Amino acid sequence: LSRLDSNIRRLEAQRACLNLVAERLRHLQGPVIELGLGNGRTYDHLRELLPDREIFVFDRQVGAHPDCVPDSEHLLLGEIRDTLPGLLERMPGKAALAHSDLGTADAVVNGVLAAWLAEALPPLLLEGAWVVSDRSLRSASLRAQPLPPGITPDRYFIYRHELK
């Protein structure tokens, strides 16, 4: 598989997972957390899918298309280990959905960040909230969910936050 094919499949998986979860969380009120603004493609898709939700977006810096930059109340810039833990004070309540696409080309960095995120994310989520992630997240309260039809396992991940 060329890098182009692999990237296209990753983005198709990301879109399919977000579309599926957007349907499933219709009855769960709460804001959305978007980890990794990048050039803003996924943020733009999320605000189209979930137009009535507040979306809180994280990145080290703004590198997005000007049309896809959140307002300052919803954009948290800096290292995520510093910015994510304070989010509860800013959100109107716990989140119904978190999407994480923080991956870099460095597998070691990605693994360390995913391990940290698996601990840091659950306290920000409602019971029954959904998590869509580019990396596997190992946490006792994040239960793996089936992927949309046609999506290869491990290309993207869906979890539900369940405390019991």
- Here's the x/- map for ligand SAM, 59-78, by CB under 6 A: it reads as xx--x---------------
Nearer to ligand SAM, 102 or 129 (CB): 102
Site for ligand SAM in 90-119 (CB under 6 A): 101-104, 113
- Is residue 30 classed as helix, strand or coil in its secondary structure? coil
Stretch that binds ligand SAM, among 57-65, 119-127, 142-150, 156-164 (CB under 6 A): 57-65
What count of other Cβ atoms lies within 10 Å of the Cβ of residue 94? 18
Q: Nearest distance from residue 37's CB to ligand SAM, in Å?
A: 6
Nearer to ligand SAM, 84 or 96 (CB): 84
Name the closest residue to ligand SAM (Cβ): 38
- In one letter, which amino acid is 164? K
How far apart, in whole angstroms, are the C-alpha atoms of residue 82 and residue 13? 29
- Is residue 135 classed as helix, strand or coil in its secondary structure? coil
CB 109 within 8 A of CB 142: no
Backbone angles phi, psi at 31, to 5 degrees: -75, 180
Site for ligand SAM in 21-50 (CB under 6 A): 36-42
Assigned token pair, 74: 């919803």
User: Contact residues for ligand SAM (CB under 6 A)?
Assistant: 36-42, 58-60, 63, 79-80, 101-104, 113
